Amino acid sequence: MQDPNLLVGSSTSDDAAVYRLNEELAMVQTVDYFTPMVDDPYSFGLITAANALSDIYAMGAKPVLALNIVGFPINELPLEDLVAILQGGADKVKEAGAVIAGGHTIVDNEPKYGLAVTGLVHPDRVITNAGARPGDVLVLTKPLGTGIIATAIKGGLADEAARADALEVMITLNDRASRVMSEMGVKACTDITGFGLLGHLYEMVAASGAGSRIYLEKVPLLNQVRTLAEIGMVPAGAYRNLEYLEQWLRWDSNLDDLDKLILADPQTSGGLLIAVPGEKAGYFIEALLAAGVDGAQIGEVIESGEPLIYICK
C-alpha cells in the first residue's frame, strides 16, 4: 500500500517527488546528473545546478538543501577542473538561496556532475503535471534550441554569440517564474529538459487527462537555431523524441521536418511550461515581465482527444 503522505510519486512523470511532513509542510526531492555539455568546467557546474534546481521550482517549491554527486577521472584530468565544476555548482545553489551540505565523489572514466536537491512547499500549493485543464493557456519562459546549439558547438559551427546566448539561457534559474506562479495559484507546470517541449507537454496533458494545441510561430527560439538546424546540427535525441511521440502528435500540413525537430529538441536547463487559467493569462504574463521573465503564450489546453497535441503554424 502506498504511503498517503507521498503526494507525488513516479506515476505522473512529474519533475520531483513530494512527501507531506505535516499539515503545513511538504518536502520535494529530485536528483539529476550529467556528463559535460560544455567545455568550460565552471559553466558545466553552473548549468548542472540550475538544471537540478529547476525540478524543485517546477513543483512550485523553494530549494533549501543540495548534495553533490560527482564522478571524476582523477588520473586523467587536472584537479582544478573538478574544483571549478564544484565552484560553479556552489555558486548557483547559493544564488538560489539554498546550501550544499556535502555529497559523494567516485573515480570515473568520464566526468559526471549532478545534485540531489530538497525543497519545501505548502502541501496545498504543490504544482504538478496533472493540474492542466481545458481553457488554460500554455506559457513558456525560456526560448528553445540549447540542444541544437550544443550540437553546433561540438561541430565547431556555433559562433560566439550563439554560444553566449545558449549559456545565458541554461544558467538562468527558474526561480522568478516559479515565485510568480506560486503567488498566482497556478496548478500545472513542468520544466523543459531532455524530452523537449513536445515530450514534456505530452507528459503534462497525459497526466491531466487533457489535450493541447500549440502554435509554432509563437514558440520562442534562440537566435540562429533554425539556421543551425538547416545545416544538420540536430542532436540524435530530437529524432528519438519525435519517434517516440509521433503517435500523440498531429501536424498542420504546412509544417516541415525541421519545425518538428526543433520542437522536439532536447533542452538542458530549459524554461518552465506553465498552464494558466485563460482569464488570468494576460495578468500572469505581465507579472512574469515585472519579475524579469519573458513568458511566451504558445498555445492552449483543450479537451482530451486523439492525438493529444495539435501543432499549427
**For binding to Co ion (CB under 5 A), which residues are involved?**
14-15, 32, 55, 58-59, 190-191, 193
For residue 76, the minimal CB distance to Co ion (Å) is 28
32/259 with CB nearer Co ion: 32
- Cβ neighbours for 89, distance < 8 A, ≥ 6 positions apart: 45, 46, 48, 49, 66, 68, 100, 113, 115
Cα distances from 76 to residues 7, 110, 275, in angstroms, run 44, 9, 46
N- to C-terminal Cα separation, the chain: 47
For residue 300, the minimal CB distance to Co ion (Å) is 19
Q: Which residue has the cell 548557483?
A: 92
Of all residues in the shown chain, the one whose CB is closest to Co ion is 15
For residue 74, the minimal CB distance to Co ion (Å) is 27
3-state secondary structure of 162: helix
Cα gap 151→228, rounded to integer Å:
9
178/224 with CB nearer Co ion: 178
- Report which secondary-structure segment, H or E, holds 273: strand 272-277
179/226 with CB nearer Co ion: 179
191/300 with CB nearer Co ion: 191
For residue 65, the minimal CB distance to Co ion (Å) is 17
Q: Cα-atom radius of gyration of the chain, to the nearest Å?
A: 19
12/87 with CB nearer Co ion: 12
Say whether the peptide bond before residue 123 is cis (omega within 30 degrees of 0).
no
For residue 312, the minimal CB distance to Co ion (Å) is 26
- Report which secondary-structure segment, H or E, holds 101: strand 99-107
